[in-house]
Amino acid sequence: QVQLAESGGGLVQPGGSLRLSCAASGSSFSINNMAWYRQAPGNQRELVALITGGGATNYQDSVKGRFTISRDNAKNTVYLQMNSLKPEDTAVYYCYAATRGYGYWGQGTQVTVSS
């Protein structure tokens, strides 16, 4: 069993930056892949970035060059550094962790990009 707690969301102006954090607790030693998803009003939840247990990363094309996913395994935490934010990045961002066939979701944190 894994619990995920996201933080770092908020209101930011276009072109600004935010860093999201997701801390895992419980059986976090078994976590392999971690990822960030997002869901905007009226849209489906979509994968934003993924990081494997070995540190390999994948990004949605729309965020490449702007977002960076990273993890600190000692702290059981995954981060999403978001730079050059655009209004279309506005969404609820969800942390996801996979543990040997099981997936766990955080509660989400709101990111709003607006002037």
pLDDT digit string, tens, across residues 1-35: 899 999 999 999 999 999 999 999 988 778 899 99
Mean pLDDT along residues 55-79: 95
Q: In whole angstroms, what is the distance from residue 67 CA to residue 75 CA?
A: 21
Which of the four pLDDT bands, split at 50, 70 and 90, describes residue 86? very high
pLDDT attached to residue 74: 85
Name the amino acid, one letter, at 32. N
* Cα–Cα distance for residue pair 39/112, rounded to 1 Å: 12
Residues 6+ apart with CB under 8 A from 60: 46, 47, 48, 49
DSSP category for residue 84? S
pLDDT at residue 59 tops 90: yes
The DSSP symbol for 43 reads S
For residue 108, give the amino acid letter.
Answer: G
Q: What is the pLDDT of residue 85?
A: 98
Residue 108: φ, ψ to 5°:
100, 150
